[in-house]
Chains A and B, each alone.
Chain A
Amino acid sequence: MISDISNKLQVQVKAAFDKKTALRISAGNSKSFYGRGVKGEEISVADHAGIIEYRASELVLTARSGTLLSDVETALAENNQMLAFEPPAHAPSATLGGSIACGLSGPRRPFAGAARDFVLGTTIINGKGETLKFGGQVMKNVAGYDASRLMVGAQGTLGVLLDISIKVLPKPETELTISFEQDFETAHKALRQWILQGQPVTASYYYNGALSIRLSSTGNSVKKAHEMIGGELRPNDLWQSLQHQTHEFFSRHKNLWRVSVPASAKSILADQQQLVEWNGALRWVASDEDLFTTAKDVGGHASKYRMNSDNEENIFQPLSSTMLSLQQRLKHSFDPDNILNPGRLYPEL
């Protein structure tokens, strides 16, 4: 579906601002589990959809926030291009806006960059009902503060996303998946060595005593890399199962934590309870325990990803009081009456 309902959305936010009533922003509801529960009148951007501009030679796509992620990916695939941060969809209803608002990235992230790295510009409605445009459609832009990237991961608490311009990349010519049975430390040490040698690694995953990696490059280059580092061949669709969390690990475990740590941090729990991506920097851990302190102790942070909780408690790593108050002031600068997705990130934001 293609439609521009930006005026309608602006009117709704302005009315909520005037009445000082909270709004709960929704789109595809594919990631409603991620974050705290929000009470408020629904404002849906699902109908604000459609690709506005896409020029393959510019490596830029601009689309309305309600555009289905799958529609974006189809349009890109026709030109042999991709969203290189491999956003998790979690459901077919996932939208581009929701993906950017949640700011999640998939397996290619350590090599290609995160969602925030690819955002070039956004048009938003702030909490005063004003439509604002930041950034643009060009690769380099330092005019004004980078308010576009600020929207990534803000989960709508700073503004309702209307349009998003995003950098896209060519798909690699060839991809190959190989795996090795090794303990966690040995496997990651070898992986670091391959990366240092310049091998074309573009994803890694460690689970059940085996490391799998993806090689992406030209055909000759992938072949050569495989000759040099060996490993057993695995199907490439493994990476989609990680990107969208259809991998059996994710369905088998409840109380799933997302733990983001420095890549070389030691293994934080027994192997069978965790699945590790991003060269060691992203650890999915099934645990009934509170992992905020564990994550902090190794220089990282944790979030409750899928939990059997009422979404009322703290979902994200608690912030220091100085940091929290700065973030509150920032929230206030966009949304002075706290009407946009209040409490979705933290009770205070």
Chain B
Amino acid sequence: MDKLHLPALIAELQKFLPADGVLHSAEDLAPYECDGLSAYQAQPMLVVIPETIAQIESILKLCTEKNIPVVARGAGTGLSGGALPLENGILLSLARFNRILDINTDDRTARVQPGVRNLAISEAVASHGLYYAPDPSSQIACSIGGNVAENAGGVHCLKYGLTVHNIMKLEIITMQGEHLTIGGEAFDSPGYDLLALMTGSEGLLGIITEITVKLLPKPSATKVLLVSFDSVATAGQAVSDIIANGIIPAGLELMDNAAIKAADDFAHAGYPRNAAAILLCEIDGTVEEVDDQLQLAKNILQQSGASEIRLAKDEKERLKFWAGRKAAFPAVGRLSPDYYCMDGTIPRYQLADVLTRIKQLSDEYNLPIVNVFHAGDGNLHPLILYDANIEGELERTEELGGKILEICVEVGGTITGEHGVGIEKINQMCVQFNSAELTQFHAIKHAFDPDELLNPGKNIPTLHRCAEFGAMHVHHGQVPHPELDRF
């Protein structure tokens, strides 16, 4: 599509879209140039903001006919560049699909449009004693459609699962404009499990137009322990000890000293500022169960070498403890002009070892790293502090980040636990998967989107790209285990 034909395309779109539903001036396009990963920016050819399902269908059919790529965008909080626009493509915003369509208290489900904010669901069903469990830290802003596309997690996923465990049904439209119902109101559906396949597919397989989520009853009791440690390694070991002893905490989050101080300065959470690490260990369930498990958890934590164990004395203090954790990212943001958030996930028993290696890399690159993460799931979020205005620092940060991800793969983990591959981790996909596996992924995409028009270039690298990445790697002499072509 060249620029000459743009006015005609705009006119065609305006025939069926509302007057303010087609954006094309540079000024109007600017807010859409990036998602939560601001290091990557591009101006889309057009932004379209449909209001009805029929309009989405028409947009997709038109784009298929004219061979124009389409990138879906929810709230744009993604951290891997999944919603990064394409210069020759259309950005499809789902912002106006923001209605909760139905709440079914008997089956404990809610049917919602994709642009509904994650937290808005829990707010809407709170009066029925229900909530939607996955709670990404971005939950006040991110959309449920984006959550499905990324298989978002949150601090309560250890016990309650990720997005994939908490949805029942999707309505999608394919690039050809076909409507499909995936999953259903029953607990399973005939044929292949496309619900799992769609979850985390990063907008490459279809546009999600409706989601039926599962709702959970609010637990009768919830208590949180704030536990201090003299070393990060001891805290890491305590995480394994708790789980090995049969407790599945509702949340089990770890923060290192830099994160503790930053969060405490920001949110006045009352954290022990001198601790090398803290764990937030939340237990929920019936009143009796919480009492029993808290006692057990305290005993285990003492034996694991905790230096202090504090139980939030009331709901107010519990929320205060969590406020520090939930504000950790913006708090760290004040420490440095920019930060880069990694998302590798490792087996928990590797925690102490991997954190030590990350510290070594941080020293080597002279870039500070702050750790605040979902320890119970082994999902690391090293935040690399850097200054984009210093020439070459972003590149060095990305290189350091890449090395951290390669360590995660090497110890049996993955390059991304919840933020997705997007454009950011596309090279590391070549480390995690071999060419036959990548070819299989492309074949799956082809089954849904034969013309490769949905978010092309994201999530799954081409073999060509991997060959180039591999060559570059060898060139720098950086392959950690040349004998292993994969994990």
Residues of A within 8 A of B (CB): 55-60, 80, 103, 109-110, 113-114, 116-117, 126, 130-134, 136-147, 149-150, 152-154, 158, 169-171, 173, 192, 195-200, 217-221, 223-225, 260-264, 278, 281-282, 299-301, 303, 316-317, 319, 322-324, 326-327, 329-334, 345-346, 349
| Chain B residue, CB-CB nearest to A261 | B186
Whether B417 and A144, one on each chain, are in contact in the complex, defined by CB atoms closer than 8 angstroms, is no
Q: Is the CB of A141 within 8 A of B345?
A: yes
Verify A146–B190 contact, CB threshold 8 A: no
A334 and B188 form a contact (CB under 8 A): no
B151-208 contacts to A, CB under 8 A, are 151, 153, 157-158, 161-162, 164-165, 174, 178-181, 184-194, 196-197, 199-201, 205
The answer to whether A140 and B444 touch across the interface, beta carbons within 8 angstroms, is no
Query: Hey, what's the 0/1 contact readout for B412-437 against A, CB within 8 Å counting as 1?
Result: 11111111110001000100110011
**CA separation between A72 and B319, bound complex, in Å?**
41
Would you list which residues of chain B between 238 and 252 have a CB under 8 Å from chain A? Answer: 240-241, 243-244, 246-248
Indicate if the CB atoms of A218 and B293 lie closer than 8 Å.
yes
List the B side residues contacting A55 at CB < 8 Å: 347, 349
B334 within 8 A of A: no
Q: B158 touching A139 by the CB < 8 A rule?
A: yes
Q: Which residues of chain A have C-beta atoms less than 8 A from B444's C-beta?
A: 145, 147, 330, 333
Q: Out of A126, A139, A150, A221, name the residue touching B192 (CB < 8 Å).
A: A150
Q: Which 4 A-B pairs have the closest CB atoms?
A: A149-B196, A57-B244, A140-B417, A333-B443
* Pair A218/B190 contact, Cβ less than 8 Å: no
* Interface range, B side: 35 or more
B106 is contacted by which of A264, A303, A345 (Cβ under 8 Å)?
A264
B220 at the binding interface (Cβ < 8 Å) = yes
Q: Are B421 and A317 in contact (CB under 8 A)?
A: no
**Contact between B200 and A327, CB atoms less than 8 A apart:** no
Q: Indicate if B330 sits at the interface (CB-CB under 8 A).
A: no
Known contacts A138-B413, A153-B192, A260-B187; 11 further A-B pairs (Cβ under 8 A): A56-B244, A136-B412, A143-B415, A144-B429, A145-B444, A147-B441, A149-B197, A173-B246, A220-B291, A261-B186, A264-B107
Say whether, besides A141-B417, A143-B432, A59 and B193 are in contact (CB < 8 Å).
no
List, in ascending order, chain B residues with CB within 8 A of A345's CB.
Answer: 191
A221 to B292, alpha carbons, bound, how many Å? 8
User: How close is A326's CB to chain B, nearest CB, in angstroms?
Assistant: 7
CA distance A169 to B158 in the complex (A): 11
Residues on the A chain within 8 Å of B181, using CB: 323
Q: Name the distance in Å between B301's Cβ and chain A's nearest Cβ.
A: 15
Pairs across A and B, CB under 8 Å, 10 listed: A56-B244, A58-B243, A113-B161, A138-B412, A139-B378, A143-B421, A198-B285, A221-B288, A223-B288, A301-B184
Query: Chain A residues with Cβ under 8 A from B415's Cβ?
Result: 143
Closest-CB distance, B190 to chain A (whole angstroms): 4
* Structural contact, B288 and A220, CB atoms closer than 8 A: yes
A278 contacts across to B, CB distance below 8 A: 187
